[in-house]
Structures are given as structure tokens and as C-alpha cells.
Amino acid sequence: MTTPTLTRPELTAADRCDRCGAAAKVRAVLPSGGELLFCNHHARAHSERLREMAAQLEG
């Protein structure tokens, strides 16, 4: 018996950065299960804090 793995959908052109509205390139999955979308600029700007929070960065 295999256990199905849940995957999040790929980011598309319709996905926008939660900080500035630019095209989202990185998804930050929070330990609580929530997620934030960031452009590359804001992903880099917030990466240290996201790592401190044990967020998983995808993208």
C-alpha cells in the first residue's frame, strides 16, 4: 500500500507576490500549513526570517 503524497500546484503567471504584486517565483510553506508567495526580490529579502520560522521554500 502506498501513501499518496500531496503536492502543491506549480506557480503560474497568475500567481502574484503577496508583498508587491509582481509575478510570484517562490512559495514559502509555513509550519502552520499556510503559504506565502514572493517574487525573487522579496524571497531574498525575507529568506533569513523564513528560515528562522522553519518555512519550506519552493520554487
pLDDT, residue 10, reads 94
Give the model confidence (pLDDT) of 2-59 as tens digits: 666 678 899 999 999 999 999 999 999 999 999 999 999 999 999 999 999 999 999 8
- The pLDDT of residue 13 is 95
Type of residue numbered 22:
A
H/E stretch holding 51: helix 40-52
- What pTM did the predictor assign? 0.83
The residue written with cell numbers 519550506 in the block is 56
C-alpha grid cell, residue 9:
500546484
pLDDT attached to residue 58:
94
CA dihedral 4, 51, 36, 59 (to 10 degrees): -60
State which H helix or E strand residue 6 sits in. Answer: none
